[in-house]
Amino acid sequence: MKNYTHLTDEDLVKLYANGNNDAFDTLLNRHKSRVFSYIFFTVRNREVCEDIFQETFVKAITHIRQGRYVESGKFLSWINRIAHNLIIDYFRREQNVFTCSNDDYDLFNSIPLSDSCVEDCLVKEQVLNDVVRLMEHLPESQREIVRMRFYDDLSFKEIADKTGVSINTALGRMRYAVLNMRRMAEEKGILLN
């Protein structure tokens, strides 16, 4: 196996798209801990996390092989977006399992109502959905900062370096993004916890 660690993510994606499996192994090794941590932090269940993690990279493989990966210099953001969508799908499936039946009053399918983990997960999913929807309405420069900060877990110094702006500009964009999202949330009656 050749050593590809010196290549950029985009170079590795190109190599993999052309049939070099070692290039994808390098991508996987480069990003697996951050993607796994992101998923685990959200779902708080190791088994579910491992399933979503696997599915994330299977989807990435499929997209790359089908030529559907758009080169943007942000592979980690892209792979985290796949993971995020799979997490939302998981919580939606779970939410359907834990819904009230009006016909037979079998509330939450006999699951004890004191299961705060289920409630926390559902609340977190709703907040994530609301934040994602609000982010779509932000200017691109603000949306990029929010995505890098919260989904890629980058420091403001790293964000400034990646975007080619000063730290103060990155902080300012984040501040305006938060203010804009709060304003939009109030206008739409969305409660962000």
Q: Which residue blocks in 98-192 are alpha helix, DSSP H? A: 116-135, 140-146, 156-163, 167-188
pLDDT score of 15 = 93
Q: What is the mean pLDDT of residues 37-42?
A: 87
Is the pLDDT reported for residue 109 higher than 50?
no
pLDDT score of 119 = 60
Work out the percent of the chain whose per-residue pLDDT is above 70: 79
Is the pLDDT reported for residue 101 higher than 70?
no
pLDDT score of 125 = 65
pLDDT score of 106 = 38
Is the pLDDT reported for residue 104 higher than 50?
no
All domains of the chain in start order, with CATH: 1-87 (1.10.1740.10), 118-193 (1.10.10.10)
Helix axes 116-135, 167-188, angle to 10 degrees: 110
Candidates 80, 30, 38, 29; CA nearest to 59 is 80
Work out the percent of the chain whose per-residue pLDDT is above 90: 23
Query: Residue 127 gets which letter from DSSP?
Result: H
Is the pLDDT reported for residue 100 higher than 60?
no
Return the SS3 of 66: coil
Q: What is the mean pLDDT of residues 58-82?
A: 87
CA angle 89, 95, 99 (to 5 degrees): 155
Model confidence over 124-179: pLDDT tens digits?
666 666 777 778 788 888 888 888 877 777 788 888 888 999 888 888 888 888 88
- pLDDT category at 30 given cuts 50, 70, 90 is very high
Candidates 37, 80, 87, 41; CA nearest to 57 is 80
